[in-house]
A and B are shown apart, each in its own frame.
Chain A
Amino acid sequence: MDWGALHTILGGVNKHSTSIGKIWLTVLFIFRIMILVVAAERVWGDEQDDFVCNTLQPGCKNVCYDHFFPISHIRLWALQLIFVSTPALLVAMHVAYRRHEKKRQFRKGDKKCEYKDIEEIRSQRFHIEGSLWWTYTGSIFFRLIFEAVFMYAFYYMYDGYQMPRLMKCSAWPCPNTVDCFVSRPTEKTVFTIFMIAVSSICILLNVAELCYLLTKFFLRRSKKSGNAKQQPNHENKEETKQNEMNELISDSCQNTVIGFSS
């Protein structure tokens, strides 16, 4: 169980996302999770071993390290990535629920059901409308909140995003104010700024996606209320046009959810 399993789960959601959603997922996996696993973990790997205080007093280093790093950057990022990915699971569950309902209808032999076999239901892509729209929009909203909360937590805990070279510590049992030196401060600052920048890009993508979904929703509503006054034939043409636009906007995806939607 590792980030690969999360990738499998989220890959399934990719199929039902908008194109901005797909870009967000790509940014998440390549620029955040992969960087975390491949690079950042190595940089923070020796953080306590190489945290050195100018004293021989046993215990002083431990206490000072704990005082300045209540929770390590790398763990905060891992938690941030887990929390930010979780709302997408809501969408995966909603899609799985819809598929389950369609399969039930198909098995009952419902004449309204337009599918020829179960395989077609499994591979069908649901459009983001109706209750799925609310779930999807809610998931984006939660993502935004989690990103913002974690970025603020970082800023608050570490007084900004820069890693200082030297920290002065006078916690007991240190005999007086002792100089403590952090290992690789510049490299850590570079990675911190990188991760913050990518978080900001993800926030912008989420805001853009939210605006896009809201615009689409209001346009659809105004068209419906406009069409209600016109003839039914015209309404059908508008609906098919909307469907074609949806198809053009979204690409097909090869990943499928293995565990959660089966």
Chain B
Amino acid sequence: MSWGFLRDLLSGVNKYSTGIGRIWVAVVFVFRLLVYVAAAENIWKYEHDEFECNIKQPGCENVCFDHFFPVSHIRLWALQLIIVSTPSLLVVFHVAYRENRDKHHNQKLYRNPREIDGGLLCTYLISLILKTGFEIVFLVLFYKLYNGFKIPHLVKCDIRPCPSTVDCYISKPTEKMIFLYFLVATSCLCIILNISELSYLIFKYSIKCYLKRYMKKQQ
């Protein structure tokens, strides 16, 4: 079980998406998942080993690291990727439900089970809203947990068993900050794509509804 599973899931979702949805999948694959696996993971690999405090007191480093990094950036990043991709499953399940119904009743209940209309449109819109919501929640979480998106060189720690205020040095802060900004930028891009797709779908189907009503009135 690894990121390949998420890749297969998103490839499946790609079939039922609009054009903007496909661009979203491409951005998630290439600029988030691939960057995470190929580059970012290695930067945070030895973060605890390389976290150094100016003290020989046993336990002080552990306690200080735990205080300043309750959840590591890289784990939050991985959680974000998984949770943000999950709402797309709703669409997959709904399409599978439709196709199942067609098979069960042995007749064509839907013009095209994969076409985004009616109930599937609602599901798709809900999945878009959830995706956007989760992205924003994680960005806010990152901001609140680490007081912004900056990573300092040095943190001052005075928690027991540290005997006094001790200087602790974080490893590779600049590189971590660059990748953190990259994460924030791609999240914002995905939020913009989701909002555009939402607006596009709402606009398209409102026009469709309005035209239908207008044709009915004419008749």
Q: What would be 8 A-B contacts, judged by CB atoms less than 8 Å apart?
A: A5-B34, A49-B46, A59-B52, A62-B52, A62-B169, A72-B172, A86-B31, A259-B14
B54 touches A70 (CB 8 A): no
Smallest CB-CB A-B distances: 7 pairs? A59-B169, A1-B3, A259-B11, A62-B169, A70-B174, A78-B39, A58-B54
A6: Cβ under 8 A from any B Cβ: yes
Contact string against A for B residues 177-189, beta-carbon threshold 8 Å, 1 for contact and 0 otherwise:
0110000000000
B7 touches A1 (CB 8 A): yes
Q: Besides A61-B52, A78-B35, 19 other CB < 8 A contacts?
A: A1-B6, A1-B29, A1-B37, A6-B34, A58-B167, A59-B168, A63-B154, A65-B171, A66-B173, A70-B174, A71-B178, A72-B172, A82-B30, A82-B35, A86-B30, A259-B7, A259-B11, A260-B14, A262-B14
- Contact-size category for B: 35 or more
Specify which of B10, B42, B168 lies most central, judged by the most chain A CB atoms within 10 Å of its CB: B42
- Contact-size category for A: 35 or more
B7 touches A5 (CB 8 A): yes
Residue of A nearest to B5 (CB): A1
CB distance from B45 to the nearest CB of A (A): 10
Contact string against A for B residues 22-59, beta-carbon threshold 8 Å, 1 for contact and 0 otherwise:
11001001110111011100110010001011110000
> How distant is the Cα of A6 from the Cα of B38 in the complex, in angstroms?
11
> How distant is the Cα of A259 from the Cα of B10 in the complex, in angstroms?
9
Chain B, interface SS category: helix
CB distance from B73 to the nearest CB of A (A): 15
B22 touches A93 (CB 8 A): yes
Contact string against B for A residues 68-111, beta-carbon threshold 8 Å, 1 for contact and 0 otherwise:
01111011001100100110010001001100000000000000
A253: Cβ under 8 A from any B Cβ: no
B119: Cβ under 8 A from any A Cβ: no
B38 touches A78 (CB 8 A): yes
B169 touches A58 (CB 8 A): yes
Which residues of B in the span 133-170 have a Cβ within 8 Å of any Cβ on A? 153-154, 167-170
B3 touches A72 (CB 8 A): no
> How distant is the Cα of A65 from the Cα of B153 in the complex, in angstroms?
11
> How distant is the Cα of A23 from the Cα of B30 in the complex, in angstroms?
22
Residue of A nearest to B170 (CB): A62
Contact string against A for B residues 111-138, beta-carbon threshold 8 Å, 1 for contact and 0 otherwise:
0000000000000000000000000000
